[in-house]
A and B are shown apart, each in its own frame.
Chain A
Amino acid sequence: MLVKMMITSVIMILVFSTSAKAQDVDYRAQSLYLYKFARYIYWPENKLAGEFKIGVYGNSEILEELKLMASLKKGPDGMDITIVEISEEDDLSQFNIIYIPSSKSRQIREIAEKIGDAPVLIVAEREGLASKGATISFLVTDSMVLKFEINMVKMEEQSLEISEELLKLGYEI
């Protein structure tokens, strides 16, 4: 019996070691943060007309999560939330939030230059980008908790304000 079970477990190792996924990023958690950004960061009055637009730069799994979120929740002042996959031709200043997936991290400076001082919150998935053009970048702590770094100088330049409660969850750089 021992030999049989041993063989079974070895076979299972071979089968599962190639098929299973490792430690998937939880985009629902990031989506939750984006929702909280929408609620606890304050945009100038002129950016809060019509729909609250969240753009995702390129294709990312977060798109599906954000669309689910938008179907359930409202933005500031009861605004509808719209999720858009941004293309190269889009005018970036129309968005309230732009999300930069890890795969597009190299374009962060170019995107930041395009946006300039416009009140568009640039949220980067990759750690460390808040010092390279993003307003906020996510980071994962040693204990695998999702946090964010925030560039307060850029926030001010973009005429954005963050609530003190939300700021406590992040780290200023």
Chain B
Amino acid sequence: MRSLSKVLIFTLLAFAFKFVYGQVDTTKKEDDFNYLFKQRDKKDRELKQKNDTISLADFYDMSLEELEDLKATGVSSELEEYINSLISVSTQKSLPSRYSPNIVTLVTAEEIKSMGARDLTDVLQLVPGFHFAQDARGNVGLGIRGNWAAEGKVLIMINGKEINDHYTAHTYFGNHFPVDMIKRIEVIRGPGSSIHGGLAEFGVINIVTQTAEDLSGIEASYNSGIMDEEVGRAKFNFYLGKKWEKVNLDYWFSAGTAQRSNRLHYGFYDCSVDSIICQDTLGVGTYSTLANDSDLDNFMSNFEVKAGGFSFSSLWDYYGVTDVTKLDGRARRPVKRGYFSMYNEIEQRFKINRKLTITPKINLSVQTPVEENTPYAEALINNPKFADTLAIATTRFRFRVDANYNLNHRINLLGGFDFYHDIAINADTVSKFYAGTPPDHLSSTAFYGEAIFKLPIFHLFAGARLETGSSYQTAFSPRVGITKKFNKFHLKFLVSDAYRIPTLGNIYYSFDGNYKISPDSSYVYDVGRGLEPEKTLVIEAEAGYQFSDKTFLTLNAFDMTIRDPIVYTYFQDETIREIYGFQSGLYVYQNFGKSGTRGFELDFRFQDKWGFLNANYSYYSVGNKPKISAYSVSSFNRDPGRRELVNDEALLAFPQHRFNLNWLYYINEDFSVNLNSSFIGSVYGYDVDVYGPGPFDVDGKLTKTRFTYLVNFFFRYQNLFTKGLTAGIGVNDLFNKKVTYMQPYFGLSPPLPGPSRELKFTVEYKLPFKNKKKNK
């Protein structure tokens, strides 16, 4: 730590020198203080400034054409610009967040950059109701309002392109999504199925990256982090954007690696990765460090060209994660699993007339597994007979048409058609474990429509989506929403029945409760498949009040009832236990009974020229909602029927209480400090229970983490020594409280350590292209 301290002190001294030097050299900076934030919406600002400075006589001589964009309010504050920002993720039509028929959060580039976010986890953990948890094999996914969402229940999009894994619909976090190119993130903290379909059941996250419209030039950045003496992460990002008269082109890529943690983690010896273990008596597993043994590798790039209403984009993503659960004979983790994905999209917007716009889109996506040191990795190359579904590549063809018809200024009609076809490659090589032919293709057809009535008394939204697939029952998602804004106050009342459709991988691993046992009891076979769409009725209400041009408060309450939840779980029953022992079972996807949560979220924002202070608190409870054994906080037992409920208010892995704080202070126009912190309530999960000295004296137990907090700070200096150069330094988890990810279902994975205290650095350089016209 001594070397880290030296780096930290040296960097702070450099900032201090620049700060003092800057104060002496540029005395006019006090006058320019209003310049803060103004870079965000430069065009709007320039327009406003123009309106403010023209003479009154000129103002009244404004042409009728210029009246087309005449603002109804005076110069608005930074906060007002924020809360009136148009959000398109909620409907296909852009609406200010206070009118949109969802509970939404908008994260700006300024928030992301000023906190020195290492990846999207740092950003999203500050969103009310969001909390990260552990999936199988050491992956980390998102939970929303106490409910596990990573299993295809939260839709993740980059620039409107769906990027959830096609085969299982999972999306994982941790050095996955680069943050340096993000312009804003639009988050729906509730259902979005009626517009976005089967993966938007609990929420939607749309990441919007910068384009040539934002920066015609080059930008490069490097981020690094150190946990103790170990390298925590290193990432390089590059952006190129060029704007011509009729064509915009942009390209960015991000490449780097990180470590999940440098702490101890209990892994299980696995003879499929090291044959010596099969003959040995090393035991069940052991604790070993994750330092340099928990890789999170990522490469992501995006190419996009736009010309008028036409656009083509190609997004490439490789994400490889060390399987921290499997140990070899030296207690190291040699297995790495990942996917390389390529998402291509062609879009053409046709403006038929003043009222009607039609936008067809064609997508072609390919996802290929990339594995290291797994039996499947070998089999993929040498012997396909051993390949398993997890090594299956998928191809998706998608055709979507969106139509937007403005009947008049009060009524908008939106509608569309959405079709996709998935093909699984290598699916005929699966084992004989399951009954019947494994599914190697799946198609889905959906129709959606929504009417927006902008009535003088309120906005009314009514819409629905109907989706039918080749391997499951038809799913239907209606929604009705009323939003009302009067002066500084706004109200929303929203009801939606969302759904989550099964994917190819879900159906392959599905289980309808039927199986056979071979006559000599040596194996289980003909496991019956069957999985139906999961449905969730969500009732939400929000009230918001703008106390001043700087202060805004919203309070929302929600009630979620999940029917037939699709859960990846460990199945065991009396028969299996009697024949094969108490540690035997199947990992399967099953529809369970009913689950759900209810709760509320409070979001406070204060924004001024000196910076901002955002705070939010979220609470959920199971209360008297129905419960399922896989999610419930119960005693450890592989047999669901023998588990005893320990806490009937909370669910596994998710804290009932969470308070987040994000504070930014501009010391001068270039130098800022950000302090953000999360106060996290108790979390339940399962851990290993080493109950004896023998190598196999290991079982599981329910465990509970105590209240904890994370404090992160970051200093950022823009235009350091030269224009366009930005550098930052900060610390994550200042007090080394060490976040831990629990598993939100009964999946037999011990708690996964997150990063410990990490010193982080960023350096960024931005070079806009010169405008030739101006030079002439």
Q: Contact at A32–B99, with CB atoms within 8 Å?
A: no
Q: Indicate if A152 sits at the interface (CB-CB under 8 A).
A: no
Binds A, one of B68-76, B204-212, B619-627: B68-76
Indicate whether A171 sits within 8 Å of B408 (C-beta atoms), given known contacts A143-B96, A144-B72. Answer: yes
Q: How far is the CA of A29 from the CA of B48 in the complex (A)?
A: 13
Ranked nearest first, the 6 interchain pairs of A and B with the lowest CB-CB distance are A128-B456, A20-B548, A146-B72, A171-B409, A17-B551, A140-B72
Max chain B C-beta neighbours (<10 A), residue from A13, A25, A28, A40: A13
Q: Indicate if B60 sits at the interface (CB-CB under 8 A).
A: yes
Closest to A31 in B: B60
The smallest beta-carbon distance between A15 and chain B, in angstroms, is 10
Closest to A12 in B: B608
The contact string, 1 if C-beta is below 8 Å from chain B, for chain A 35-68, is 1100010000000000000000000000000001
Q: Which of B64-94 contact A (CB under 8 A)?
A: 64, 67-74, 76-77, 80, 84, 86, 94
Q: How far is the CA of A68 from the CA of B55 in the complex (A)?
A: 12
Q: Which residues of A contact B84 (CB under 8 A)?
A: 143-144
Q: Which residues of A contact B405 (CB under 8 A)?
A: none
The contact string, 1 if C-beta is below 8 Å from chain A, for chain B 382-414, is 000000000000000000000000001110000
> Apart from A17-B551, A25-B72, A143-B84, what are 5 other A-B pairs with CB-CB below 8 Å?
A18-B548, A20-B549, A23-B546, A29-B72, A32-B59
Q: How far is the CA of A72 from the CA of B551 in the complex (A)?
A: 38
Closest to B452 in A: A142
Q: Indicate if A165 sits at the interface (CB-CB under 8 A).
A: yes
Q: Indicate if B709 sits at the interface (CB-CB under 8 A).
A: no
Closest to A69 in B: B60
Quick one: which of B56, B74, B95, B547 contacts A24, CB cutoff 8 A?
A: B74
Q: Contact at A22–B546, with CB atoms within 8 Å?
A: yes
Interface size class on chain A is 35 or more
Q: Contact at A169–B67, with CB atoms within 8 Å?
A: yes
Q: How far is the CA of A36 from the CA of B63 in the complex (A)?
A: 9
Question: 7 A-B contacts, Cβ less than 8 Å apart?
Answer: A2-B675, A5-B673, A19-B548, A22-B488, A32-B62, A73-B57, A169-B67
Q: How far is the CA of A6 from the CA of B408 in the complex (A)?
A: 49
Q: Contact at B67–A9, with CB atoms within 8 Å?
A: no
Q: Which residues of B contact A127 (CB under 8 A)?
A: 456
Q: Which residues of B contact A13 (CB under 8 A)?
A: 550-551, 606, 613
Q: Contact at A142–B72, with CB atoms within 8 Å?
A: no
Q: How far is the CA of A149 from the CA of B455 in the complex (A)?
A: 13
Q: Which residues of A contact B74 (CB under 8 A)?
A: 23-26
Chain A interface (Cβ within 8 Å of chain B)? 2, 5-6, 9-10, 12-13, 16-26, 28-29, 32-33, 35-36, 40, 68-69, 72-73, 127-128, 138-147, 149, 165-166, 168-169, 171
Q: How far is the CA of A13 from the CA of B612 in the complex (A)?
A: 10
Q: How far is the CA of A142 from the CA of B608 in the complex (A)?
A: 24
Closest to A40 in B: B64
Q: Which of B542-556 contact A (CB under 8 A)?
A: 546-551
Q: How far is the CA of A168 from the CA of B66 in the complex (A)?
A: 12
Q: Which residues of B contact A168 (CB under 8 A)?
A: 64
The smallest beta-carbon distance between A152 and chain B, in angstroms, is 13
The smallest beta-carbon distance between B693 and chain A, in angstroms, is 49
Q: How far is the CA of A74 from the CA of B549 in the complex (A)?
A: 36
Indicate whether A23 sits within 8 Å of B606 (C-beta atoms), given known contacts A5-B665, A72-B57, A144-B72. Answer: no
Q: Which residues of B contact A12 (CB under 8 A)?
A: 608, 610
The contact string, 1 if C-beta is below 8 Å from chain A, for chain B 670-688, is 0001010000000000000
Q: Which residues of B contact A140 (CB under 8 A)?
A: 72-73
The contact string, 1 if C-beta is below 8 Å from chain A, for chain B 166-179, is 00000000000000
Quick one: which of A20, A28, A33 contacts B550, CB cutoff 8 A?
A: A20
Q: Which residues of A contact B546 (CB under 8 A)?
A: 22-23
Q: Contact at B76–A169, with CB atoms within 8 Å?
A: no
Q: Which residues of B contact A10 (CB under 8 A)?
A: 613
Quick one: which of B62, B64, B94, B663 contacts A6, CB cutoff 8 A?
A: B663
Q: Which of B618-642 contact A (CB under 8 A)?
A: none
Q: Which residues of A contact B663 (CB under 8 A)?
A: 6, 9
Q: Which residues of B contact A149 (CB under 8 A)?
A: 409
Q: Contact at B608–A35, with CB atoms within 8 Å?
A: no
Q: Contact at B96–A142, with CB atoms within 8 Å?
A: yes
Q: Contact at A32–B456, with CB atoms within 8 Å?
A: no
Q: How far is the CA of A100 from the CA of B454 in the complex (A)?
A: 23
Q: Indicate if B611 sits at the interface (CB-CB under 8 A).
A: yes
Q: How far is the CA of A169 from the CA of B67 in the complex (A)?
A: 8
Closest to B546 in A: A22
Q: Indicate if B713 sits at the interface (CB-CB under 8 A).
A: yes
Q: How far is the CA of A130 from the CA of B57 in the complex (A)?
A: 30
The smallest beta-carbon distance between B406 and chain A, in angstroms, is 11
Closest to B83 in A: A23
Quick one: which of A16, A23, A33, A165 contacts B80, CB cutoff 8 A?
A: A23
Q: Contact at B59–A28, with CB atoms within 8 Å?
A: yes
Q: Contact at B550–A17, with CB atoms within 8 Å?
A: yes
Q: How far is the CA of A9 from the CA of B611 in the complex (A)?
A: 9
Quick one: which of B76, B86, B456, B673 contacts A142, CB cutoff 8 A?
A: B86
Q: Which residues of A contact B608 (CB under 8 A)?
A: 12, 16
The smallest beta-carbon distance between B604 and chain A, in angstroms, is 9
Quick one: which of A21, A72, A138, A147 contacts B548, CB cutoff 8 A?
A: A21
Closest to B548 in A: A20
Indicate whether A25 sits within 8 Å of B96 (C-beta atoms), given known contacts A5-B665, A18-B548, A171-B409. Answer: no
Q: Contact at A9–B548, with CB atoms within 8 Å?
A: no
Q: Contact at B549–A22, with CB atoms within 8 Å?
A: yes
The contact string, 1 if C-beta is below 8 Å from chain A, for chain B 577-612, is 000000000000000000000000000001010110
Max chain A C-beta neighbours (<10 A), residue from B69, B409, B457: B409
Max chain B C-beta neighbours (<10 A), residue from A20, A22, A69, A143: A22
Indicate whether A21 sits within 8 Å of B70 (C-beta atoms), given known contacts A9-B665, A128-B456. Answer: no
Q: Which residues of A contact B547 (CB under 8 A)?
A: 17-18, 22
Q: Which residues of A contact B610 (CB under 8 A)?
A: 9, 12
Quick one: which of A138, A142, A144 contacts B73, CB cutoff 8 A?
A: A144
Max chain A C-beta neighbours (<10 A), residue from B96, B548, B610: B548
Q: Contact at A145–B550, with CB atoms within 8 Å?
A: no
Q: Which residues of B contact A18 (CB under 8 A)?
A: 547-548
Q: How far is the CA of A144 from the CA of B95 in the complex (A)?
A: 11
Q: Which residues of B contact A36 (CB under 8 A)?
A: 64, 67
Q: Contact at B71–A146, with CB atoms within 8 Å?
A: yes
Q: Contact at A32–B86, with CB atoms within 8 Å?
A: no
Indicate whether A16 sits within 8 Å of B548 (C-beta atoms), given known contacts A6-B663, A32-B60. Answer: yes
Q: Which residues of A contact B410 (CB under 8 A)?
A: 171
Q: Contact at A35–B673, with CB atoms within 8 Å?
A: no
Q: Contact at A32–B56, with CB atoms within 8 Å?
A: no
Q: Contact at B64–A26, with CB atoms within 8 Å?
A: no
Q: How far is the CA of A93 from the CA of B71 in the complex (A)?
A: 32
Q: Which residues of A contact B77 (CB under 8 A)?
A: 20
Q: Contact at B548–A17, with CB atoms within 8 Å?
A: yes
The smallest beta-carbon distance between B91 and chain A, in angstroms, is 11
Q: Which residues of B contact A20 (CB under 8 A)?
A: 77, 548-551
Q: How far is the CA of A166 from the CA of B64 in the complex (A)?
A: 7
Q: How far is the CA of A13 from the CA of B62 in the complex (A)?
A: 38
Indicate whether A169 sits within 8 Å of B68 (C-beta atoms), given known contacts A9-B663, A20-B550, A128-B456. Answer: yes
Max chain A C-beta neighbours (<10 A), residue from B56, B73, B675: B73
Quick one: which of A22, A23, A32, A35 contacts B70, CB cutoff 8 A?
A: A32
Q: How far is the CA of A58 from the CA of B713 in the complex (A)?
A: 55
Closest to A26 in B: B74
The smallest beta-carbon distance between B170 and chain A, in angstroms, is 35
Closest to A166 in B: B64
Q: Which residues of B contact A165 (CB under 8 A)?
A: 64
Q: Contact at A143–B86, with CB atoms within 8 Å?
A: yes
Q: How far is the CA of A86 from the CA of B740 in the complex (A)?
A: 70
Q: How far is the CA of A29 from the CA of B67 in the complex (A)?
A: 9
